[in-house]
Structure 1
Amino acid sequence: MSDFVQARRAMVNSQVRINDVTDYRIQDAMLELPRELFVPRSKQAKAYGDAEVEVAEGRFLISPRDLAKLIHVANVRPTDLVLDVACGRGYTTALLARLAETVVGIDSDDDLVRRASERLTEVRADNAVVVKADPTAGVPDQGPFDVIVIAGAVDEVPDALLEQLAEGGRLVTFVRSGPVGRATVFTKGQGGSVGEYVVFDGTPTLVPGFGKEDEFVF
């Protein structure tokens, strides 16, 4: 048994199962998916630790605990069409692909789009694709989506993404409140109304492009 296989088991046992992630599909997906393939080679030893891993300058793969809980509250179904926003090197996209019917990952960085696409092919996530797009704008021509995931912190969720939710759809992310991110589920109701509720706290890094613009001070 390889060290990475043992590390995956330890990750699921110590960071996922004990943190109210009771969906066995998520547990099994995290046990099977080689997380180390989705981080830089120099960071592979940190892939299964209880912390974020930097995958590019200013870009992070959030901790296993935060990611598992976030996906759990999204309630991804086998028939869902899912959008993974600011997907980075594609780990979350690949994980969602094991839970949903189809997954679209988007990122604005050419190198990350290329790397994510290569890794999805490597792990045979044939029902997922990564395309270059502005994460704050989404891909309206591909929706509406049953689930939208922003696996990191935001100051606010752009209206453009909420508009791409299908009726009954869920958008999940961490909305910053000071230094803390509050895992929040946004739901689309009849007539386009959007509700939200907070589920748990975490401390993921802000996703570039999702911060409030600095106000001018006179």
Structure 2
Amino acid sequence: MTLPQNRLQEFVRPEDVARFNMIEQQIRPWNVDNSMVLAVLARVKRERFVPPAYYSLAFMDIAVPLVPEEQLLERPDAVMLPPKIEARMLQNLDVQSHERVLLVGAGSGHFAALLAAMAQEVVAVDIAPDMVAMASTNLRDNGVDNVQVLQRDAAVDVPAGGFDVIALSGSVAELPQHLLAALNDGGRLIACVGEDPIMRIHVVTKRDGQFDVQTPWDYNLPRLQNFPEANAFEF
């Protein structure tokens, strides 16, 4: 149920009005109705994780650049996911307070902060040193102390220990088998899988050593670096 619009009278800061509108006008219409997810989106201040040059874009229904625009062609994955995508992924993952989470693609640290608000521990990895530095600084400055940020190429190197939840913040050509192997029993992995122009969100649940794969919705995300591409047909 959509909250009554007179709730806007409760907010003093323009950012809080924008956040309320983001949740009501972008996120709820995308079938996100989990009360815990909505509460976390209201509590974690998205604007504090946006580069100053793009502050005005913080609550818009777009992927916010994390590097200067001229670098985006070479680094299309250096973005914050749109709010509705982070929200829908959180709802699909159903993260619990005792769980350990792996986030592939640390970005600005915002998605890690959302996951950390629901989980016991988050390990965020990124191949790019500037993203590791940005995420670490933003998380520290916002008092998020249950996230470890590592510079790591998750295409070949997975932190040890096993995970209850694994989230990929960009797309891959196929489900990474080494990440599926890192799931604990009962664990879930979410990834955007496929090729332009058609990609689908895959939610994989591990039960008794078997993997159940659901594809609940479609969306295209930029490629994560170094993950293998699908084999091309040869004629």
- TM, length-normalised to structure 1: 0.91
The offset of 1:103, in angstroms, is 0.7
The offset of 1:171, in angstroms, is 0.2
Matches within 5 A, 1:89-168: 89-141=108-160, 143-168=161-186
Contact 1:144-1:164 at 8 Å conserved across structures: yes
SS where residue 205 of structure 1 aligns? Answer: coil
Other-structure match for 1:207 = 224
> 1:179 & 1:15 partners in 2: Cα distance?
23
Contact 2:174-2:230 at 8 Å conserved across structures: no
Match of 1:50 among 56, 61, 73: 61
> 2:230 & 2:130 partners in 1: Cα distance?
26
- For residues 53 and 214 of structure 1, do their structure 2 counterparts lie closer, same or farther at Cα, with a shift above 3 Å needed? farther
Amino acid across the alignment from 1:133: R
- For residues 89 and 148 of structure 1, do their structure 2 counterparts lie closer, same or farther at Cα, with a shift above 3 Å needed? same
- For residues 169 and 50 of structure 1, do their structure 2 counterparts lie closer, same or farther at Cα, with a shift above 3 Å needed? same
Amino acid across the alignment from 1:94: A
Deviations 1:120-166 (A, max 9, x none): 1111111111111112235341x210000012222112211111100
Other-structure match for 1:68 = 87
Contact 2:173-2:230 at 8 Å conserved across structures: no
Which stretch shifts more, 178-187 or 79-88? 178-187
> 2:119 & 2:130 partners in 1: Cα distance?
25
Deviations 1:4-37 (A, max 9, x none): 2221111111111222212212111111222122
> 1:15 & 1:208 partners in 2: Cα distance?
29
Match of 1:181 among 199, 207, 219: 199
SS where residue 87 of structure 1 aligns? Answer: coil
> 1:108 & 1:19 partners in 2: Cα distance?
31
Other-structure match for 2:99 = 80
Residue segments in structure 1 that go unaligned for 5+ positions in a row: none
> 1:156 & 1:173 partners in 2: Cα distance?
9
The offset of 1:43, in angstroms, is 1.1
- TM, length-normalised to structure 2: 0.85
The offset of 1:118, in angstroms, is 1.0
The offset of 1:214, in angstroms, is 7.4
SS where residue 194 of structure 2 aligns? Answer: strand
Other-structure match for 2:14 = 3
The offset of 1:173, in angstroms, is 1.5
Structure with higher Rg: it is 2
SS where residue 7 of structure 1 aligns? Answer: helix
Q: Tell me the C-alpha RMSD between the 2 structures.
A: 1.9
Residue segments in structure 2 that go unaligned for 5+ positions in a row: 1-11
> 1:188 & 1:213 partners in 2: Cα distance?
23
SS where residue 184 of structure 1 aligns? Answer: strand
Aligned length: 216
SS where residue 137 of structure 1 aligns? Answer: coil
> 2:64 & 2:100 partners in 1: Cα distance?
27
Which stretch shifts more, 158-167 or 55-64? 55-64
